[in-house]
């Protein structure tokens, strides 16, 4: 599994920022053609993104391209610009139903066949960020090409007529529904953007809370956010050591034919062992084991 602890957006029309993004050591770079790009700059973004995919060395960073929404009238040209240059994946914003996911998946498959690339090798991630998208999560998440669900809090608040607050209770139901559906269908779950990019403590706090909810990563928009977010989704040494102790103690008790047992004054049974295994899995995905 590719660890996508931080997914950095870069406006596709900004060649300087695209080059700069390659130096951050971020897990995942998403070259944007959608809301990070002004309507008059869409064509410039397509040209830059095609060139970047063709010419630049992304090192260990995954390279994604975000197209405009299905129905925007821009989606076909966006795909035509990006797909021939073989991004690792496409991000589809404002997804509202399974038919939109299927339409993009078909276009991707045509490109894969035309270039003799393995079918299914280009990943698809979707931003769920409208009321209708949340209501249709089950049919969206079931699509076989999907790799991850991404939660968009700002767009959702706009779609609801809600007011964004630092506590984010106005989007909590949806934020929780996205991670729930991702896990139900074996997908990664990538949490909302913290738009206050000068406030490093805030992004650290929001990332830690996202990780508590079960999110596997977070969208970011600025270099300030790379380190705190990648750290928040990487178990620290203490968490890894504790998870190891739980798993080892569990295995020893299993051999003796015992299920639940006590460790440091806490009852440990299967759900806690699974949680410990999740910690080890995340450590492994982050290259720490």
* Structural element, H or E, at residue 208: helix 200-213
Residue span binding ligand COA (CB under 6 A) among the ranges 9-17, 111-119, 254-262, 271-279: 9-17
**Residue that has been written with the tokens 């276009």 in this structure:** 107
256 phi-psi bin (left φ>0, alpha ψ -120 to 50, beta other): alpha
Q: Which residue is nearest to ligand COA (CB)?
A: 36
Q: How many residues does the chain have?
A: 289
- Rule CB under 6 A: say whether 223 interacts with ligand COA: yes
Q: How far apart are CA 36 and CA 55, in angstroms?
A: 22
- Rule CB under 6 A: say whether 76 interacts with ligand COA: no
The site map against Mg ion for 150-189 (x = CB under 5 A) is --x--x----------------------------------
Nearest distance from C-beta of residue 235 to ligand COA, angstroms: 26
Report the candidate in 249, 251, 239 with the shortest Cα–Cα distance to residue 275: 239
Instruction: State both tokens at 122.
Output: 């280009």
Nearest distance from C-beta of residue 129 to Mg ion, angstroms: 5
Q: How far apart are CA 11 and CA 67, in angstroms?
A: 12
Nearest distance from C-beta of residue 266 to ligand COA, angstroms: 40
Residue 155: which of Mg ion, ligand COA, none does it interact with, CB under 5 to 8 A by kind?
A: Mg ion
Determine how many CB atoms are found less than 10 A away from the CB of residue 161. 8
Residue span binding ligand COA (CB under 6 A) among the ranges 82-90, 172-180, 219-227, 251-259: 219-227
Residue span binding ligand COA (CB under 6 A) among the ranges 105-113, 205-213, 217-225, 242-250: 217-225
12 contacts 31 by C-beta, under 8 angstroms: yes
* Structural element, H or E, at residue 44: helix 42-55
Nearest distance from C-beta of residue 24 to ligand COA, angstroms: 7
Cα dihedral 187, 93, 89, 38 sign: negative
Q: Which is nearer to ligand COA, 20 or 274 (CB)?
A: 20
- Whether 269 is catalytic: yes
Instruction: Give the footprint of ligand COA on residues 23-62 (CB under 6 A).
Output: 32, 35-36
Residue 9: which of ligand COA, Mg ion, none does it interact with, CB under 5 to 8 A by kind?
A: ligand COA
Residue span binding Mg ion (CB under 5 A) among the ranges 121-129, 139-147, 220-228, 255-263: 121-129
Alpha carbon distances (Å) from 38 to 51, 82, 127, 219: 19, 18, 19, 20
- Rule CB under 6 A: say whether 17 interacts with ligand COA: yes
Nearest distance from C-beta of residue 155 to Mg ion, angstroms: 4
Q: Which is nearer to ligand COA, 36 or 133 (CB)?
A: 36
Q: How far apart are CA 6 and CA 280, in angstroms?
A: 19
The b/e string for 260-282 (b: 16+ C-beta within 10 A; e otherwise) is eeeeeeeebeeebbeebeebbeb
Q: How far apart are CA 218 and CA 230, in angstroms?
A: 9
Nearest distance from C-beta of residue 1 to Mg ion, angstroms: 25
Binding site for ligand COA (CB under 6 A): 8-11, 16-17, 20-21, 32, 35-36, 193, 221-223
Q: Which of the residues are catalytic?
A: 269
Binding site for Mg ion (CB under 5 A): 129, 152, 155
């Amino acid at each position: 599994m590719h660890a996508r602890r931080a997914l950095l957006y870069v406006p596709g029309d900004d060649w300087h920022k695209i080059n700069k993004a390659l130096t951050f050591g971020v897990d995942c770079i998403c070259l944007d053609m959608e809301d990070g790009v002004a309507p008059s700059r869409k064509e410039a973004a397509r040209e830059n993104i095609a060139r970047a995919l063709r010419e630049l060395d992304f090192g260990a960073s995954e390279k994604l391209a975000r197209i405009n929404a299905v129905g925007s009238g821009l989606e076909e040209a966006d795909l035509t610009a990006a797909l021939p240059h073989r991004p690792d994946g496409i991000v589809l914003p404002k997804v509202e139903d399974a038919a939109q996911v299927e339409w993009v998946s078909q276009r991707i498959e045509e490109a894969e066949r035309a270039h003799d690339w393995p079918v299914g090798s280009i990943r698809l991630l979707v931003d769920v960020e409208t009321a209708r998208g949340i209501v249709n999560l089950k049919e969206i998440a079931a699509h076989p090409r999907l790799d991850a669900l991404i939660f968009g809090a700002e767009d959702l608040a706009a779609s609801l007529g809600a007011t964004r607050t630092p506590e984010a209770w106005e989007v909590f139901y949806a934020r929780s529904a996205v991670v729930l559906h991702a896990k139900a269908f074996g997908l990664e779950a990538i949490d909302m953007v913290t738009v206050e990019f000068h406030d490093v403590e805030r992004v650290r706090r929001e990332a830690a809370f996202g990780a508590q909810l079960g999110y596997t990563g977070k969208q970011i928009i600025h270099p300030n956010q790379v380190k705190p977010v990648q750290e928040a989704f990487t178990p620290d040494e203490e968490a890894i050591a504790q998870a190891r102790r739980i798993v080892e103690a569990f295995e020893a008790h299993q051999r003796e034919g015992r299920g639940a047992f006590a460790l440091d004054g806490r009852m440990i049974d299967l759900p806690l062992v699974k949680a410990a295994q999740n910690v080890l899995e995340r450590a492994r995905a982050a290259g720490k084991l």
